[in-house]
Amino acid sequence: MHGSNLYEGQKLALKYFTVAIVLFGAQLLFGLFAAIQFMYPNFLFGVLDFSINRMVHINALVVWLLYAMIGAVYWLLPDEAGREVVGIKLGNLAFYVLTAAVAVVVLVYLFIQIGPGKESTIWFITEGREYIEAPRWADIGIVVVVLIFLYNVYATVMSGRRTGILAVLMADLIALAGLYLAGMFYTDNIAVDQYWWWWVVHLWVEATWEVYVAAVGGYILIKTLNANRKVVEMWLWIEVAMMFGSGILGLGHHYFWIGTPEYWWEIGALFSALEPVPLVGLFVHVLYDWGKETGKGNKITNVPAFSWLTVETFGNFLGAGVWGFMHTLPQINLYTHGTQWPAAHGHLAFFGAYVAIMIAAVYLAIQGKAGLKELKMTKAGWWAITLITVGVLLMTVSLTIAAYVQTMVERGMYGATWEGFFAAQNNEWFWQGMCWRLVTGLMVIVGYIFLVYDLLTCTKKQPVQESEAEVAAAAA
């Protein structure tokens, strides 16, 4: 499957991956600015305020992951369905429209940082809801683009081969798209508004995205390890059941303090405690496939992709599981929410659960584009995975130290008062935690530079090998 032999859908996937990696860089850059501003609040003040930096940092993360997710689907869709993507021209048009819209939205964020909050602000500048700040015109555009994407996927699968992976993805994409609608309307009551807002933020991340990752992870296991499809697909259904079972009502841990009834304490605690179970399951699954397939003599055909998948398994477990459970139960969450605890958890969980597997998917596409039977790890690839992974892990530890100070001083000693907030902010340990967060952030950026370099050059640095096309020609 050399570059010229790619399906049109896979060529479209490469476009999505390219924009995703660029936006990944933007996410890191704005995160760096925000990290500096935590320590030196005057840095870029009045030019690029902290509120904007933080917003673009998080929005860039969400958007690049969505780009990479759409790219991964376009990559595996023709391969799994055994046919070209239906409506590919429409798909290409949607890509350019979405990319132009994202560029306009970000420019508006940067050029109109402050101003009155009017009805027109919601429509043309920002909706103001944390993490999903896109103005309403962009919201509507996103819905149209996603509908085109859904049409492409459904029409292709209906007229092609229907695998278990595609069946799970089809069901999941409906939920993914439908939930976005919950974040598109306002209510006068802030508690009711937050109630619906969490449907997008939580249910996307801890239900539909997790299922999506399990499906793409299964595909990567089949491709890199030649894992048994029946086992992968059977396991996928178990994971889907567990993730939806624990993830949907795990929503309760966001309803502890927003004005919703107190029975959410029990529901949130119970289902949050169950949420790590599918992550343990995912860990067992990868361990099982690795043990079975390498035991049979199967070689790993894409070492960088499999390495990132391994990082995903452990990172997801540590970030979402360990760091999530440490501060989620309501009794302790009373003292931890609104501190750096969620930041520590969020950084490692997003990296582990989503960033790592999307990079694995990009490496898979790079291998397919070059038509290589095997993709070995290069030195640059090794530096990239090491610096980014260790950087994020240490960043999480730094944020945890800062968070612990806030919990003890601001919440425990001062009882969540204004005075307590500043006492914690001025604490030496808090300051040092934020310093180390900046250092580790720089480490991640260096890793990102290695990653981009490796993605651009790794296929040229592989030992000489027959391409898939040559092997097929020789067999014929």
Partner 1 sequence: MEYYMHDIPIQDFLPIFVISAMVIFFGMAYAGFFTLVKLRLVKRWFMILAYLSWLALVACIYYLGVLLRVEPYTQKVLIGAMVGYLVFPHIVYFLLEKVHNRFEHHKMTTS
In this complex, which beta carbon is closest to partner 1, that of residue 181 or of residue 284?
A: 284
State the DSSP code for 86.
T
The reply on whether position 281 binds partner 1 by CB under 8 A is yes
CB of 212 to partner 1, least distance (A): 21
Cβ at position 233, least distance to partner 1 in Å: 9
**CA pair distance 132, 146, nearest whole angstrom:** 16
- The first and second tokens of residue 159, run together, are 């007229």
Kindly state the smallest distance separating residue 459's Cβ from partner 1, in Å.
32
Q: In this complex, which beta carbon is closest to partner 1, that of residue 295 or of residue 297?
A: 295
Query: What's the rounded Cα separation, in Å, for the pair 36 and 33?
Result: 5
Judged by beta carbon, residue 290 or residue 363, the one nearer partner 1 is 290
Nearer to partner 1, 93 or 280 (CB): 280
How many chain residues bind partner 1 (CB under 8 A)? Answer: 43
Q: How far is the CB of 18 from partner 1 (least distance, A)?
A: 36
Distance CA 105, CA 384 (A): 30
Q: Determine the interface stretch with partner 1 among 55-63, 274-282, 421-429, 449-457 (rule: CB under 8 A).
A: 274-282
Radius of gyration of the chain (CA): 22
Q: Which of 90, 397, 408, 452 touches partner 1 (CB under 8 A)? A: 408
Q: How far apart are CA 58 and CA 350, in angstroms?
A: 11
276: contact with partner 1 by CB under 8 A? yes
CA distance 201 to 174: 16
Helices (H), 112-135: 119-124
Among 11, 54, 162, 292, binds partner 1 (CB under 8 A): 292
In angstroms, the CA 65 to CA 350 distance is 10
Question: What six digits make up the tokens of 352?
Answer: 């582990």
CA 233 to chain CA mean position, Å: 22
Does residue number 167 form part of the binding site for partner 1 (CB under 8 A)?
no
Contact 239, 207 (CB under 8 A): no
Query: In Å, how far from its chain's centre is CA 392?
Result: 14
CB neighbour list of residue 23: distance below 8 Å, 6 or more residues apart: 60, 63, 64, 67, 102
Residue 259 binds to partner 1 (criterion: CB under 8 A): no
Assess contact for 221 and 287: CB atoms under 8 A: no
Residues 202-231 that bind partner 1 (CB under 8 A): 228, 230-231
Ranges assigned E (strand) in 25-146: none
- Contacting residue, 274, 343, 445, 446, with partner 1 by CB under 8 A: 274
CB of 228 or CB of 425, closer to partner 1: 228
The footprint of partner 1 on residues 365-404 (CB under 8 A) is: 404
Distance of closest approach, residue 266 Cβ to partner 1, in angstroms: 7
Contact 156, 86 (CB under 8 A): yes
Q: Contacting partner 1 (CB under 8 A), which of 144, 234, 439, 473?
A: 234
Q: Nearer Cβ to partner 1, position 32 or 332?
A: 332
Q: Which of 4, 89, 114, 262 binds partner 1 (CB under 8 A)?
A: 262
Place of tokens 């690839």: 381
Site for partner 1 in 330-369 (CB under 8 A): 330-332, 334-335
Tell me the residue type at 93: L
Scanning 329-427, the segments in alpha helix (DSSP H) are 330-336, 341-350, 356-370, 379-405, 418-425
Distance of CA 415 to the CA centre of its chain: 35
Exposed/middle/buried for residue 52 (C-beta within 10 Å: 0-12, 13-18, 19+):
buried
Q: Which of 39, 158, 191, 287 binds partner 1 (CB under 8 A)?
A: 287
Euclidean distance between CA atoms 29 and 54, whole angstroms: 11
| Smallest gap from residue 427 Cβ to partner 1 (A) | 14
Q: Which is nearer to partner 1, 330 or 352 (CB)?
A: 330
Burial of 9 (0-12, 13-18, 19+ CB in 10 A): buried
Show contacts with partner 1 in window 298-337 (CB under 8 A): 317, 321-322, 325-327, 329-332, 334-335
Single residue of 238, 241, 469, 473 touching partner 1 by CB under 8 A: 238
Q: Does 263 bind partner 1 (CB under 8 A)?
A: yes
For the CB of residue 241, give the shortest distance to partner 1 in the complex, in Å: 12
3-state secondary structure of 336: helix
Q: Which stretch binds partner 1 (CB under 8 A): 25-33, 247-255, 278-286, 380-388?
A: 278-286
Task: Choose one: 9-17, 105-113, 232-240, 445-453; the region binding partner 1 (CB under 8 A).
Answer: 232-240
The smaller minimum CB distance to partner 1, of residues 60 and 269, is found at 269
3-class DSSP state of 80: helix
Segment interacting with partner 1, rule: CB under 8 A, options 153-161, 390-398, 406-414, 443-451: 406-414
Q: What are phi and psi of 275, to 5 degrees?
A: -60, -35
List interacting residues with partner 1 (CB under 8 A).
228, 230-231, 234-235, 238, 262-263, 265-266, 269-270, 273-274, 276-277, 280-281, 283-285, 287-288, 291-292, 295, 317, 321-322, 325-327, 329-332, 334-335, 404, 407-408, 412-413
